[in-house]
Amino acid sequence: MPRPAAAPNLGLSLDDHVDLDSLDVRQFTLHPPAQALLCAMQHALLEAPYIDFGRVDADSTRFNIVFPSTFGSDRRKPVTAEFQQFCETVYWPLVSVFLFGRAGWSSLRRHLTSFKVNTLRISEDEFYYGLPIYHFHLDHKIGQPAPKDKCQLNTCRMIFSIVPAALEAGAAPEHDSTVYLRRQPPHGFTKQEALHTYLKTRYPEVGLARGRQRPLYEVSDEELYRAPPGEVLLHHSHPGRPVHAETNPCPEGRGLYVLDWTDLRNAAPDGARRPATRMPMAEILKQLRVLAADPAGEAYRARLGETLECGAELLAVAEPYPGGRQALEAVLRRVAL
């Protein structure tokens, strides 16, 4: 059944707005075989162990997991300590080498503040699930850019999704992921309040107006870009952009991968500030782009070899966990195909 049509733009002129494609947001799409391997890792090393020994709520079937365990997050869904440790010592090392290579991960990881995998279906119990209504927002602690301040720290969020059904022949277009406004404001935002003041001039607000705790906006499909599974996208912090929302509804079996990167603060022995070490986003994307390359090519095959090598070293680590070694061996067989 088709969804009801959303209300049109409230009349805000978009003449000065920019197309999403003109921003440094959309990067590249991971090749289907790479997506399939991530699906296999997610199922064997996250989803199945979660059911076996990861649930705090016995009725729960979906979760989010955040690395490292010391990362503070008020939106983390509780999991057992055993599951967190298994994911952190087995899944995380393996998937990190698969994504960035051994040398790449070794040099890049100091810029990573958190790695999150989310299988929750956001807002599925809300009144607007399946309707053209979205919580548009910005990521990070956004702020005012200060180009002359060489010590200012910026962050960047990298996201992509994996949807198993999207890898099947004849997959339907509803296997989308994050939703973006096709026409973005010409300048990013430095405060969340400013974002929502802007959005209320462009779309009907139907969340706070109904007593909900956060603003929701009714937006027609024509104004949206829906990122397909496997597409890598970047969200920046100073100023905050792009404006985006969770997909609605969420495709079955989706895994949302979120990697947060940051500049590093430097200080002299006397405590004086020194210019920040910038996150090497070009190198981060270069290493991840290997998974968008020809699966028969040398770079991709070398990455699989590194993943197999890493996995073999983790077999002993996985041994103490229920079904851990068998799950890891199953993944390595898939990688070796």
Q: Among the residues of 135-206, which ranges form H helices? A: 192-202
Q: Which pair of structure tokens corresponds to residue 34? A: 């790479």
Residue 5: pLDDT band by 50, 70, 90 thresholds?
Answer: confident
Residues 30-45: tens digit of each pLDDT: 999 999 999 999 999 9
Distance CA 224, CA 311 (A): 40
> Cα–chain-centroid distance for residue 274?
31
For the ranges 123-137, 246-260, 316-330, the maximum mean pLDDT occurs at 316-330
Residue 76 has pLDDT above 80, yes or no: no
Distance CA 91, CA 86 (A): 7
For the segment 59-78, the average pLDDT, to the nearest whole number, is 78
Q: Are 151 and 275 in contact (CB under 8 A)?
A: yes
Residue 288 has pLDDT above 70, yes or no: yes
* Region label for 316, one of left (φ > 0), alpha (ψ between -120 and 50) or beta (otherwise): alpha
Whole-model pTM: value is: 0.94
Helices 324-336 and 32-42: crossing angle in degrees, nearest 10, is 170
Task: State yes or no: cis peptide before 320, omega within 30 of 0.
Answer: no
From 90, 80, 88, 81, select the one nearest 55 (Cα to Cα): 80
Distance CA 150, CA 273 (A): 10
Share of the chain above pLDDT 70, in %: 95
Residue 207 pLDDT: 95
Q: Where are the domains of the chain?
A: 18-336
* Region label for 188, one of left (φ > 0), alpha (ψ between -120 and 50) or beta (otherwise): beta
Distance CA 139, CA 287 (A): 24
More confident residue, 170 or 95: 95
Buried b / exposed e across 36-56, counting CB within 10 Å, b at 16+? bbbbbbbbbbbbbbbebbbbe
Residue 296 has pLDDT above 60, yes or no: yes
Distance CA 47, CA 116 (A): 14
Residue 72 pLDDT: 58
Residue 269 has pLDDT above 90, yes or no: no
Q: Which pair of structure tokens corresponds to residue 42? A: 């997610």
For the segment 67-88, the average pLDDT, to the nearest whole number, is 81
87-101, 159-173, 194-208: range with lowest mean pLDDT:
159-173
Residue 259 pLDDT: 97
Residue 73 pLDDT: 57
The beta-carbon contacts of 27-30 under 8 Å, at least 24 apart in sequence, are: 27/231, 27/232, 27/233, 27/234, 27/285, 27/289, 28/231, 28/232, 28/285, 28/289, 28/292, 29/228, 29/230, 29/231, 29/232, 29/292, 30/160, 30/230, 30/231, 30/232, 30/288, 30/291, 30/292
Q: Among the residues of the chain, which ranges form H helices? A: 32-42, 48-49, 81-86, 92-100, 102-108, 192-202, 281-289, 298-318, 324-336
Residue 171: pLDDT band by 50, 70, 90 thresholds?
Answer: low
